[in-house]
Amino acid sequence: MEANCHTGCFRARLGILRFQWGIAVYNSRMEPSDPTSQQPYEPLPGQPTPSQAGSKLLSKYSDTEHLLVRGGAAPVESTTSKPVIPLRRFQELEQAIRHAPANPEPYVELGQIYLDQQRWVDAKRVLDNGVQNCPEWEPLVLMREDLVLHLASQTLDAARTQHAQNPSEKTRYDLDQAEQNLANQRIRVCGDRYSRRPDEKDILVTWAVALRQLGRHDEAIDMLKTAAAEPELRARASLQLGMCLQSLQRPLEALAAFRKASMYRSPPPEPKIQKRALELAIDVAEENRLIDSARFYAEQLLAICSSNERESVKRRLFQLREKEL
């Protein structure tokens, strides 16, 4: 019994000594001289806390307010601004348009990007919005007008291909509608441009061609007479004027216009215009039994035609010479 008592007292005293030693070790680690003594879970100096590290990481994806619209320099991170996600150029421009819709330059650049990529729907959306918000910005207006005409031309080309591959009443109707749509779009665009630039008389020729295609000959004739007063335009204008007069069954006036278009000397007409005017002059003269005039125009055509066309023109001239006056 006595031995057992001594053993129990020894074990109790040993437990007390271990407890006191543990407290001493804990107190020594919590002395102010230890850099971890204030907060056992605080990081070492110079290292961010987990919450700070997480905030810095998230800040990379939270701010896109400082995107540059122009200039190649990348955004510089400062102590007050957060880094941004790099975006492709068209995304930057879309962002710039949303933030500053009255600035026309991003519309022009973004519209050109979409046009280069043949993203016609996106290009039209951007340019439509640009013209709506910046109607006085001429480069933007011109780009939108050109795109409208291009899309109308694409529709016409598709209608022609469809009708050639599958001729039917429907494809013929679609083709007629596409032709009328393109002519109407040209009339509208030319009208708008000429109102902005009345000194550019060449617009009148394109405008008149569209009017002629829709059968509005009288309007076209007035415009062509105005354009023909300009030396650099008079051959083109005279050719179109002759075509209008021919459609109105005014052959003598048409023949005079074709003669002018083919024989102006200063400045001389372009070869294509001269050739076409002579071909039409021959047809009008022959139809109205002006055989001598038809021979004259055929001789003029023979003098300027290419080698591969020479034989057909010679045959035409021979037939005219065989006809009685």
What is the sign of the dihedral through the CA atoms of 22, 27, 33 and 38?
Answer: positive
Quick one: tokens of 281? 């002059």
Same fold flag, 88-200 and 225-325: yes
289: pLDDT strictly greater than 80 = yes
H/E element, 17:
helix 2-29
Of 136 and 38, more confident: 136
Residue 165 CB burial class (10 angstroms; 0-12, 13-18, ≥19): exposed
Give domain 225-325's CATH architecture.
Answer: Alpha Horseshoe (1.25)
pTM above 0.85, yes or no: no
Neighbour count for residue 129 (Cβ, 10 Å): 17
Q: Residue 219 — very low, low, confident or very high, per pLDDT cuts 50/70/90? A: very high
Residues 83-102 pLDDT 10s: 555 568 888 898 999 999 99
Give domain 88-200's CATH architecture.
Answer: Alpha Horseshoe (1.25)
Residues 129, 135, 137: CA angle, nearest 5 degrees = 105
Domain parsing of the chain, residue ranges: 88-200, 225-325
258: pLDDT strictly greater than 90 = yes
pLDDT at 140: 94
Q: Residue 55 — very low, low, confident or very high, per pLDDT cuts 50/70/90? A: very low
Neighbour count for residue 270 (Cβ, 10 Å): 12
Residues 109-161 pLDDT 10s: 999 999 999 999 999 999 999 999 999 999 999 999 999 999 999 999 999 99
Q: Are 138 and 104 in contact (CB under 8 A)?
A: no
Q: Is 236 helix (H, G, I), strand (E, B) or coil?
A: helix
When mean pLDDT is compared across 9-18, 29-38, 102-111, 160-169, the lowest value belongs to: 29-38
pLDDT at 89: 86
Residues 253, 254, 257: CA angle, nearest 5 degrees = 90
> Closest Cα partner for 278 from 267, 265, 263, 266?
263
